């Protein structure tokens, strides 16, 4: 395995984000330039005067990673270099504040592979709700309370937005399936245009679970059907990862602090049922179970 | 030391020994190890590497998260409370 | 080659001569013609640049961050609302020491929405770390664009530059302009070879975060660079004059100030009108002169003190307003002179906001008020305020 992310970075013990980076860079190799928005990734890997990145890397602002990457990509194209240009950024930047910038990059057709490590909230600033936060998850801005069962809105379907832009390669991936993730990154890098891969990234601090369980929780997300692992090539659904032994969403929810209120508060059981329905719909739509 | 424009050398976080963070430390039973390399793949610190065919954590950086122990298919890694 | 062209075309042509690698464009009146001309030049193969039509002004400057960090010479232009939208990126570009050149076609900021000229946009961004050079006419804007690359890309400077020209007044005017010769500009401007770029052969991290123990030193380096830019601006103006035969001044310029009692201080295209007014007043025996601020940032305090030292009164005319205080240039010049021995009265006028014309009559009124010397009525006022519609 190529180790293009050095140790000594400040990510929490057991954080999924460095695992995402290591796997992505292993697939992409050293002939790569990475652009990142403001994020946990950025602050933990590049505290001046240190950097964990063994490839060229640039951070500009929170909402413009795709735009900055566009500028890098046109220069690589101009110089006839086959250097990979990647964006690796969090969900806050990808789903929300960077939407305009992402939309522009997608529709201009730059050869950029956009990897969103999705920990389903604004984690860098202390766990606030983002457009990616799932239904009824607790965050500091969607806490549980007398009048609240957590985030009242469903998760934004960012892969669908990428598809609507005609992005030729759109996929979801998981660190619990590293071979699949690496394969998808390699496929994305071959595309002569933009590609989007959303990688589920459990967060110990935000989702509240024990540090050693990161991969386990990522696996449960897939095994329950809540996180279908699929790829779309030129708008057509391609391979999906089948679930051999599907699990009830309960197994995924009960091990995370951000859903624990559903087991205590009135109305929680209904919510768990509706989350199960989301999983069931995914299983049906993508034919995840044979 | 300060270069205009905040340029920073690659891999320079190595100067920070995050091993000081840990409470638990992984102990690998090499006899049980089947060299699947999942511990190396999953380690967030890139600190499990192969040394003479054995998988060895770099204790200068290991934060003691326990992912390697949790994921080892042969339960060859145990997390123990580190004596300091 | 002397040609009657639209101001916007002249600027686009100047940018073409500088051979930028990457140009980004987003439409906003009154700079849109500049990017339209540039896109035609690209389409015709005249300008061999990557031309990006982006999704917003924020993206327009952001793509140049990536391109410049990757080693490309970059150009863009904007105004008013667009400049305000890219405010965050302005600090980012200057903090990362990327020598991007941007034309700002000065325009009023809404609300209320207004597409006509004033300088609130660039003056509002005066602290963002960019060098700001203000042009009095189209020719100067053309010449300054070329000079800007030479100043910005200097290894000791590495500071982005806004070339400010009054929107509509200079962008949409048709007048004879000496269009530059590409080869001559290529000889004048060395190719852009930054020390560090995004390069897998020599990986570096750009844009790390700096905590309290180091942040100040980064800002200090920028402060130092702008101080070094002051002599550089002068030198480059002289070098340009030697090659191209035109000199619009370095940090400052002056007009009929030798024995002037009242000196008018200002920036931008209103200078043309002021020069005419001065000629009129001079023919009547009134001793009025003009000092033009060409470089607003870095602020040439010492140079200004020297130019103004023999004035009996100074009148500042500016197309901006710091709501809650007064005009920005007025404040800056008073501050610059405070600790010196100079104690002549300095009065200020905000004029031309939202594109309101400044006439010769207005300038004469200003000079008259300044001449009142001991009985100055007010230190700061709105010139030609329409009291009847209030």
CATH number of the domain bearing residue C322:
3.40.50.920
Q: What share of chain C in percent tops pLDDT 70?
A: 99
The two tokens of residue A15 are 């954080």
Size of interface A-B (CB pairs under 8 A): 112
Residues C125 and C190 in one domain: yes
Whether residue B5 lies inside any domain: the answer is no
Tell me the residue range of the domain where B65 lies. 18-81
Tell me the residue range of the domain where C237 lies. 2-244
Cα–Cα distance for residue pair C30/C12, rounded to 1 Å = 13
| Model confidence band, residue C372 (pLDDT cutoffs 50, 70, 90) | confident
- What's B76's domain CATH number? 3.30.70.20
Q: Which residues of C touch B5 (CB under 8 A)?
A: 95-98, 158, 196, 206
Using DSSP's 3-state secondary structure scheme, residue C276 falls into: helix
Size of interface B-C (CB pairs under 8 A): 37
Taking only the tens place, the pLDDT of each residue in A101-116 is 999 999 999 999 999 9
Using DSSP's 3-state secondary structure scheme, residue A266 falls into: coil
Residues C263 and C314 in one domain: yes
Whether residue C249 lies inside any domain: the answer is no
Whether residue C385 lies inside any domain: the answer is yes
| Model confidence band, residue B5 (pLDDT cutoffs 50, 70, 90) | low
Average pLDDT over residues C27-56: 96
Task: Count structural domains, chain B.
Answer: 1
C204 to chain B, minimum CA–CA distance in Å?
A: 5
| Model confidence band, residue B3 (pLDDT cutoffs 50, 70, 90) | low
pLDDT at C215: 94
pLDDT at C1: 85
Average pLDDT over residues C186-195: 93
pLDDT at C330: 97
Query: Domains, chain A, ranges and CATH?
Result: 16-286 (3.40.50.970)
Q: Is the model's pLDDT at C19 over the cut of 80?
A: yes
Question: Please, is C377 exposed, middle or buried when counting C-beta atoms within 10 Å of its C-beta (0-12, 13-18, 19+)?
Answer: exposed
Nearest CB neighbour to C214, from listed B2, B4, B5: B2
Please name the residue of chain C whose CA is at the shortest distance from the CA of residue A70. Answer: C63
pLDDT at B7: 75
Facing residues of C103 across strands? C77, C163
Sheet holding C101-106, edge to edge: C50-53, C22-25, C74-78, C101-106, C161-166, C131-134, C295-297
Nearest CB neighbour to C62, from listed A75, A83, A101: A101
Task: Count structural domains, chain C.
Answer: 2
Using DSSP's 3-state secondary structure scheme, residue C329 falls into: helix
- What's C168's domain CATH number? 3.40.50.970
- Answer whether C59 sits within 8 Å of A64, measured CB to CB: yes
Residues C260 and C175 in one domain: no
Cα–Cα distance for residue pair C51/A166, rounded to 1 Å = 22
A23 to chain B, minimum CA–CA distance in Å?
A: 8
C13 to chain B, minimum CA–CA distance in Å?
A: 30
Q: Which residues of B touch A3 (CB under 8 A)?
A: 46, 49
Whether residue B30 lies inside any domain: the answer is yes
B73 to chain A, minimum CA–CA distance in Å?
A: 12
Residues C229 and C361 in one domain: no
Cα–Cα distance for residue pair A232/A171, rounded to 1 Å = 6
- Answer whether C58 sits within 8 Å of A108, measured CB to CB: no
| Model confidence band, residue C50 (pLDDT cutoffs 50, 70, 90) | very high
CA distances, A90 to each of A4, A37, A72 (Å): 19, 8, 20
| Model confidence band, residue C187 (pLDDT cutoffs 50, 70, 90) | very high
> β-strands A195-200, B24-28: how paired?
unpaired
pLDDT at C373: 65
pLDDT at B27: 96
H or E element that contains A197: strand A195-200
Q: Is the model's pLDDT at C198 over the cut of 80?
A: yes
A17: left (phi over 0), alpha (psi -120 to 50) or beta: alpha
Last residue in a domain, options C191, C215, C244:
C244
> β-strands C22-25, C2-6: how paired?
unpaired
pLDDT at B2: 64
B31 to chain A, minimum CA–CA distance in Å?
A: 22
- Answer whether B4 sits within 8 Å of C225, measured CB to CB: yes
| Model confidence band, residue A1 (pLDDT cutoffs 50, 70, 90) | confident
* Chain A interface, best mutation among B1, B4, B11, B59, by max A CB count within 10 A: B11
- Put simply, the chain C residues between 264 and 323 with a CB less than 8 A from any chain B CB are none
Whether residue B51 lies inside any domain: the answer is yes
CA distances, C287 to each of A64, C333, C334, C376 (Å): 54, 21, 22, 18
Residues C86 and C233 in one domain: yes
Q: Is the model's pLDDT at B22 over the cut of 80?
A: yes
CB atoms inside a 10 Å sphere around CB C168? 18
Last residue in a domain, options C206, C221, C244:
C244
Cα–Cα distance for residue pair C179/C8, rounded to 1 Å = 12
Whether residue B11 lies inside any domain: the answer is no
| Model confidence band, residue A180 (pLDDT cutoffs 50, 70, 90) | very high
Taking only the tens place, the pLDDT of each residue in A83-97 is 999 999 999 999 999
Taking only the tens place, the pLDDT of each residue in C313-361 is 999 999 999 999 999 999 999 999 999 989 999 999 999 999 999 999 9
> β-strands C174-178, C2-6: how paired?
antiparallel
B5 CB within 8 Å of a chain C CB: yes
H or E element that contains C187: helix C182-188
Residues C137 and C277 in one domain: no
Four-residue CA torsion sign, A59, A65, A71, A73: positive
pLDDT at B4: 54
pLDDT at C20: 98
Whether residue B3 lies inside any domain: the answer is no
- Answer whether C55 sits within 8 Å of A100, measured CB to CB: yes
B16 to chain C, minimum CA–CA distance in Å?
A: 16
- Answer whether A58 sits within 8 Å of C21, measured CB to CB: no
- Answer whether C58 sits within 8 Å of A101, measured CB to CB: yes
* Strand blocks (E) in C81-139: 101-106, 131-134
Residues C264 and C238 in one domain: no
Taking only the tens place, the pLDDT of each residue in A17-72 is 999 999 999 999 999 999 999 999 999 999 989 999 999 999 999 999 999 999 99
| Chain centroid offset of residue C310 CA | 27
B81 CB within 8 Å of a chain C CB: no
Whether residue B28 lies inside any domain: the answer is yes
> Subunits with at least 3 CB pairs below 8 A relative to chain A?
B, C
Residues C306 and C239 in one domain: no
Cα–Cα distance for residue pair A14/B33, rounded to 1 Å = 21
Last residue in a domain, options C190, C212, C244:
C244
**Whole-prediction pTM:** 0.94
Residues C359 and C321 in one domain: yes
Taking only the tens place, the pLDDT of each residue in A212-267 is 999 999 999 999 999 999 999 999 999 999 999 999 999 999 999 999 999 999 99
């Amino acid at each position: 395995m190529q180790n293009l992310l050095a140790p000594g970075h400040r990510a929490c013990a057991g954080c999924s984000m460095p695992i995402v980076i290591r796997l992505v860079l292993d697939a992409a190799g050293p002939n790569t330039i990475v652009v990142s928005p403001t994020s946990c990734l950025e602050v933990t890997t590049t505290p001046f005067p240190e950097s964990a990145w063994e490839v060229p890397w640039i951070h500009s602002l929170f909402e413009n990673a795709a735009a900055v990457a566009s500028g890098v990509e046109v220069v690589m194209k101009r110089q006839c270099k086959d250097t990979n240009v990647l964006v690796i950024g969090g969900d806050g930047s990808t789903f929300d504040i960077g939407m305009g910038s992402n939309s522009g990059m997608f529709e201009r057709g730059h050869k950029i592979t956009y990897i969103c490590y999705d920990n389903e909230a604004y984690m860098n600033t202390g766990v606030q709700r983002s457009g990616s936060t799932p239904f009824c998850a607790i965050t500091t801005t969607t806490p549980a309370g007398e009048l609240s069962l957590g985030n009242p809105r469903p998760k934004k379907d960012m892969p669908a937005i990428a598809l609507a832009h005609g992005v030729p390669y759109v996929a979801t991936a998981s660190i619990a399936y590293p071979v699949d993730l690496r394969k998808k990154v390699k496929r994305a890098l071959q595309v002569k245009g933009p590609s989007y891969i959303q990688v589920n990234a459990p967060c110990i601090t935000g989702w509240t679970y024990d540090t050693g369980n990161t991969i386990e929780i990522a696996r449960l997300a897939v095994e329950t059907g809540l996180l279908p692992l699929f790829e779309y090539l030129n708008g057509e659904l391609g391979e999906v990862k089948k679930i051999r032994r599907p699990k009830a969403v309960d197994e995924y929810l009960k091990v995370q602090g951000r859903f624990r209120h559903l087991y205590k508060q009135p109305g929680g059981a209904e919510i768990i049922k509706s989350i199960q329905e989301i999983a069931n719909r995914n299983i049906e739509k993508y034919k995840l179970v044979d | 030391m300060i270069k205009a424009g905040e340029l920073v050398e690659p891999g320079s976080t190595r100067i920070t020994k995050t091993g000081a963070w840990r409470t638990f430390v992984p102990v690998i039973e090499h006899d049980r190890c089947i060299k699947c390399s999942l511990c190396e793949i999953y380690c967030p610190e890139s600190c499990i590497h192969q040394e003479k065919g054995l998988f060895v954590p770099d204790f200068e950086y290991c934060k003691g998260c326990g992912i390697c122990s949790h994921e080892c298919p042969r339960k060859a890694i145990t997390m123990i409370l580190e004596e300091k | 080659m002397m040609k009657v062209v639209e101001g916007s075309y002249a600027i686009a042509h100047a940018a073409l001569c500088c051979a930028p690698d990457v140009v980004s464009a987003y439409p906003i009146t009154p700079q849109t013609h500049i990017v339209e001309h540039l896109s035609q030049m690209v389409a015709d193969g005249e300008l061999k640049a990557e031309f990006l039509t982006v999704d917003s002004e924020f993206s327009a400057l952001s793509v140049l961050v990536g391109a410049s960090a990757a080693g490309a010479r970059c150009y863009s232009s904007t105004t008013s609302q667009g400049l305000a939208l890219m405010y965050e990126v302005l600090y980012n570009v200057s903090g990362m020491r990327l020598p991007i050149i941007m034309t700002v076609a000065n325009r009023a900021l809404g609300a209320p929405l207004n597409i006509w000229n004033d300088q609130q946009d660039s003056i509002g961004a005066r602290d963002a770390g960019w060098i700001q050079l203000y042009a009095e006419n189209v020719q100067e804007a053309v010449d300054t664009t070329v000079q800007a690359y030479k100043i910005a890309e200097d290894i000791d400077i590495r500071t982005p530059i806004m070339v400010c020209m009054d929107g509509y007044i200079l962008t949409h005017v048709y007048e004879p302009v000496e269009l530059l010769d590409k080869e001559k500009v290529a000889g004048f401007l060395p190719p852009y070879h930054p020390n560090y770029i995004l390069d897998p052969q020599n990986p570096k991290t750009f844009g790390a975060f700096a905590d309290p123990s180091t942040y100040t030193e980064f800002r200090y380096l920028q402060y130092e660079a702008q101080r070094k830019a002051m002599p550089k601006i002068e030198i480059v103006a002289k070098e340009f004059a030697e090659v191209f035969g035109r000199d619009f001044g370095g940090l400052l310029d002056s007009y009929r100030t030798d024995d002037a009692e009242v000196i008018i201080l200002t920036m931008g295209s209103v200078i043309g009108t002021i020069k005419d007014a001065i000629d009129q007043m001079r023919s009547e025996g009134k001793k009025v002169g003009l000092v033009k601020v060409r470089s607003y940032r870095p602020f040439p305090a010492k140079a200004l003190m020297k130019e103004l030292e023999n004035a009996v009164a100074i009148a500042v005319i500016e197309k901006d307003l710091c709501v809650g205080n007064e005009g920005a240039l007025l404040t800056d010049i008073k501050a610059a002179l405070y600790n010196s021995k100079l104690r002549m009265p300095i009065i200020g006028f905000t004029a031309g906001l939202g594109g309101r014309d400044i006439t010769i009559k207005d300038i004469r009124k200003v000079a008259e008020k300044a001449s009142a010397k001991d009985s100055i009525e007010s230190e700061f006022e709105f010139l030609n305020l329409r009291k009847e519609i209030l």
